[in-house]
């Protein structure tokens, strides 16, 4: 089996290190979204469709059976994979990002989606400002600094392109969400600044997944790694993976 970890915005694959250690998974593969701590392929426009195609190709290259664990935009992309290529996934864990038509983007996302204003916001996004924003969303000072230091000009350009292409993603992709054959677990932080836990419950209700709310902010894999690992191990035992 292969456990595939898919990070979100503005993270890199490093965001999973603490959780992987807590799970003790020897078959973990951490994917790095193009532009997030790594280069982009030639001709990659960093749209949601580009990221989806890239992710499907990356998952196809992994040995089956495949168990996916994803967060934030990684979770959005994973949910779309589950809708269009369910054959690729044996089980899934996601959260930290809605995927149903009843969600409207948070204020920071709407700012990034606005031409001109988004570029100005990125120009102002210094490491110090990023640390403050990340801490308010739940990260420790050390984790916020590590994340902020990885936000470079390339990542900023990719974020703007991804969010603009995804302005209507919940209407466009969320409308296709349906009960899934692959068992799932939705994890959400009780104090997530970007989306209320009810959006995780909604994903679980539509797909038939389990849903758990944790006592943390947005980043359950960093804020509560031991508790998250315990939930994932219990979920896997329950579904026989």
Q: What is the pLDDT along the chain (241 residues), one digit of tens a residue?
A: 799 999 999 999 999 999 999 999 888 999 999 999 999 999 999 999 999 999 999 999 999 999 999 999 999 999 999 999 999 999 999 999 999 999 999 999 999 999 999 999 999 999 999 999 999 999 999 999 999 999 999 999 999 999 999 999 999 999 999 999 999 999 999 999 999 999 999 999 999 999 999 999 999 999 999 999 999 999 999 988 8
The CATH class of the 2-103+169-239 domain is: alpha beta
User: Which residues are bridge partners to 94 per DSSP?
Assistant: 186
How far apart (Å, rounded) are the C-alpha atoms in residues 13 and 11? 7
Phi/psi of residue 158, each to 5°? -65, -40
Phi, psi for residue 210 in degrees, rounded to 5 = -80, 155
How far apart, in whole angstroms, are the C-alpha atoms of residue 122 and residue 151? 10
**Is 0.85 surpassed by the pTM of this model?**
yes
Residue 218 structure tokens: 């947005």
> Which helix (H) or strand (E) covers residue 69, if one does?
strand 66-70
Instruction: Determine the Cα–Cα distance for residues 78 and 23; give it in Å rounded to an integer.
Output: 20
């Amino acid at each position: 089996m292969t456990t595939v970890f898919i990070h979100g915005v503005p993270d890199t694959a490093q965001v999973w290190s603490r959780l992987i250690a807590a799970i003790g998974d020897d078959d973990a593969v951490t994917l790095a979204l193009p532009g997030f701590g790594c280069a982009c392929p030639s001709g990659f426009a960093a749209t949601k469709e580009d990221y989806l195609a890239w992710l499907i190709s990356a998952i196809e290259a992994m040995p089956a059976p495949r168990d996916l664990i994803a967060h934030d935009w990684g979770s959005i992309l994973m949910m779309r994979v589950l809708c269009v290529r369910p054959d690729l996934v044996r089980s899934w864990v996601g959260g930290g990002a809605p995927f149903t038509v009843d969600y409207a983007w948070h204020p920071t996302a709407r700012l990034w989606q606005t031409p001109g204003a988004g570029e100005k916001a990125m120009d102002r996004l210094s490491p110090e400002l990023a640390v403050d924003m990340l801490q308010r969303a739940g990260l420790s000072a050390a984790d916020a600094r590590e994340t902020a230091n990885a936000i470079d000009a390339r990542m900023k350009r990719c974020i703007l392109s991804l969010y603009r292409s995804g302005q209507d993603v919940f209407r466009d992709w969320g409308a296709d969400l349906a009960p899934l054959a692959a068992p799932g677990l939705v994890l959400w932080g009780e104090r997530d600044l970007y989306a209320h836990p009810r959006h995780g419950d909604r994903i679980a209700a539509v797909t038939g997944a389990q849903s758990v709310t944790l006592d943390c902010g947005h980043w359950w894999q960093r804020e509560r790694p031991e508790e998250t690992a315990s939930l994932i191990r219990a979920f896997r035992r329950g579904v026989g993976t």
